[in-house]
Amino acid sequence: MSTGLGEGGGGGALEGAWGVLRTVPVRILVFTVLWWVLVEGELRYVWLAGGLIALAVSVSYLLWPVGSWRWKPLRLLPFLLYFGRSSVQGGVDIARRAFSPSLPLESFLLRFHLRLDDEAAKAFLAWTIGLVPGTASVRLQDGILFVHIIGDPPEVEERLQEVEERVARLFGAELGPPGEFGSGKPGSVSDIRTTEPPSEEGE
């Protein structure tokens, strides 16, 4: 059985209220983990965190009512652990590139053709990618996710596809066939450089 940010509730106000109550702990857990990742484990602002998490949970019911997102509950914890690990690795990679002259620190705009069909899963994927260091979701349009990244496009392609696969498992959604890098096929990434290399003088 799948549950979402909650399981659907129809059949009366009482059932709807019960649907909200039983999904509150899941949403609190999700937003708490996201906060912890964003502040890199810093616990000095507990009251601020509590207020923002409560606000995020409340707003989430307006944006995503009970039953709009259906998750596989047993796959939530592995996904959160993966998300936390990826965030740490991304932060370390960005720091390493910033302090190492031999490593490129270039930005790209990637066009990622999604294999997901589920609209809620697409939105969650865009939101998740935007929280990982070195990546920022720019726009989701017609099944294409535009992502601004710092790093090597082929490496980012693999990372995006892995995240998409994990989101699909979390939602119990199906994926279309994978594409090839830069091919414009479903699942592919096309890189558009947003930083031009400095021209060499004297040529």
Domain definitions of the chain by residue range: 3-71, 84-193
Place of tokens 């502040």: 39
pLDDT (0 to 100) of residue 67: 63
On the question of pLDDT at 79 being above 50, the answer is yes
Name which residue leads in pLDDT, 73 or 107.
Answer: 107
Measuring CA to CA, how many Å separate 134 from each of 3, 4, 106? 31, 28, 11
CATH of domain 84-193: 3.30.70
Cα 117 to its chain centre, rounded Å, is 16
- Give 71's pLDDT tier (boundaries 50, 70, 90): low
What share of the chain in percent tops pLDDT 70? Answer: 64
d(CA 137, CA 117): 18
Q: How much is the pTM?
A: 0.58
d(CA 161, CA 112): 9
Mean pLDDT (whole number) for 156-170: 86
On the question of pLDDT at 41 being above 80, the answer is no
d(CA 131, CA 13): 35
- Give 193's pLDDT tier (boundaries 50, 70, 90): low
Name which residue leads in pLDDT, 199 or 160.
Answer: 160
Helix or strand run (H / E) with residue 120: helix 119-130
Q: Take residue 62 and report the two structure tokens written for it.
A: 């307006």
